[in-house]
Structure 1
Amino acid sequence: MPKLEFWFEYASSYSYPAAYAVADACEEAGVELVWKPFLLGPIFASQGWKTSPFNLYPVKGQYMIRDMERICAKAGLPFQLSTDGDWPQFSVAAARIGLIGAKEGWIRAFTENLYRLEFADNLDISKEATLRAALEGVAEADRVISESRSRETKNALKAQVDEAMSAGIFGAPTYRVGTEIFWGGDRLNDAIEWAVEHAEP
């Protein structure tokens, strides 16, 4: 079966609608989906950026908000984004839980729940209460949160970020098929087509 990796960031606005689209699109095309949560912060830092380019370039940030309003309206997803205070949100704890979910098979449900809490309800995803709400009905929160704080999980997230950097991934969402990368939610169909056309026999 062809394989597609979905590299996404829980603090990334554009990753939100992409996360709702990718699983069904891959299933319909007969492509295996691999969820790859990671952090953009270290990648930005490696380029000399201390924050998101949407903060560094206010005009770009204003465009992003309006663009997200259009994208989410088309997809039937609610969207609000408060730029008061710290934005993008601190997503390390969420990414660690996402890694566990990818390993155990419940990452899609957790990810969709968390994105709605973040971009529909405007809640802080760095707060344990928000993470517990996203895990409700998905996985046992006490166990998962405890495991997310382990040295093993912390090392796994670091390795995931290192892999993203080695692959040349610089933004989210990114789809990777073999060594080919497709950046941006609007590149999903291109990535799936590439996966199908270049699948190993």
Structure 2
Amino acid sequence: MPNRPVLDFWYEFASPYSCLSALRIEQLAENAGVELRWRPFLLGPIFAAQGWTTSPFALYPSKGRYMWRDTARRAGRQGITMVKPENFPQNSLTAARLALAGRDGGWTPAFSKALFRAQFCEGRNIAEEAVLSAALKEAGGDPGSALSLSRSEEVKGRLRAEIEYAKSIGIFGAPFFVTGDNELFWGDDRLEEALDWARDGR
């Protein structure tokens, strides 16, 4: 049986649009016959290289207002309710490290979805260890060992390497979808198009 086409799903835990994609991507990929690779990373270093100190949705109030209204509309079409956390953007460093650590245990997708729901559906702070631990338990991970692993130099280095690789291929926001032939698609509204391209190519 030939290998299934692959789509890399690059996402940032502080990104509302990444949340929308994370909560619907698995079924769409399954329907398309496309294998997913979940690739958590951080946008902060990429924004910093562009001279931004935080998310453009925080820097530019009109863009931020539009984004929250737009994500609310898109979430409504998925049957979910989005809320704006008290702090935005949230510190997603430990979350990204945990998601990378979870690849070996196979719980990265479930952990990522649980954490996105905690943040953008319940308004929780994903930098808090209790919130991270609850998401880990929901995903079938062991909070103690996972949190310890996330603090290891190996996982820290893995995240730094992912960020540098994202920069090198031209990723500048989230979510980003990269097909097997290196076609780039940016934004939740490009997910279906990315899956079609991953499956059928040009």
Same topology, TM > 0.5: yes
How do 1:38-187 residues align onto structure 2 when only pairs under 5 Å count? 38-82=41-85, 84=86, 86-137=87-138, 138-177=140-179, 178-187=181-190
Q: Helix, strand or coil for the counterpart of 2:30?
A: helix
CA distance in 1, matches of 2:103, 2:24: 17
C-alpha separation between the residues in 2 aligned to 1:154 and 1:175? 23
Q: 1:193 aligns with which of 191, 196, 202?
A: 196
User: Structure 2 CA distance, aligned partners of 1:190 and 1:78?
Assistant: 24
> 1:80-124 CA deviation, whole Å, 9 max, x = no partner?
103x5x420000000001102233211111111101110111111
* Matches of 2:14 and 2:101, distance apart in 1: 18
What is the rounded CA distance, in whole Å, between the counterparts of 2:106 and 2:45 in structure 1? 26
Q: Residue 97 of structure 1 aligns to which amino acid in structure 2? A: L
Aligned residue-pair number: 197
- Whole-angstrom CA distance in 2 between matches of 1:124 and 1:181: 31
The residue type equivalent to 1:139 in the other structure is: G
Ranges in structure 1 where 5+ consecutive residues have no aligned partner: none
8 Å CA contact retained: 1:2, 1:30: yes
Tell me, in whole angstroms, the C-alpha distance in 2 between the residues paired with 1:57 and 1:195.
34
CA distance in 2, matches of 1:69, 1:141: 31
Q: Percent identity?
A: 47
TM-score (norm 2): 0.94
Moved over 2 A (4+): none
AA at the equivalent of 1:54 = F
Superposition RMSD on alpha carbons, in Å?
Answer: 1.2
1:4 Cα shift? 0.3
Distance 1:27 1:5 in 2: 14
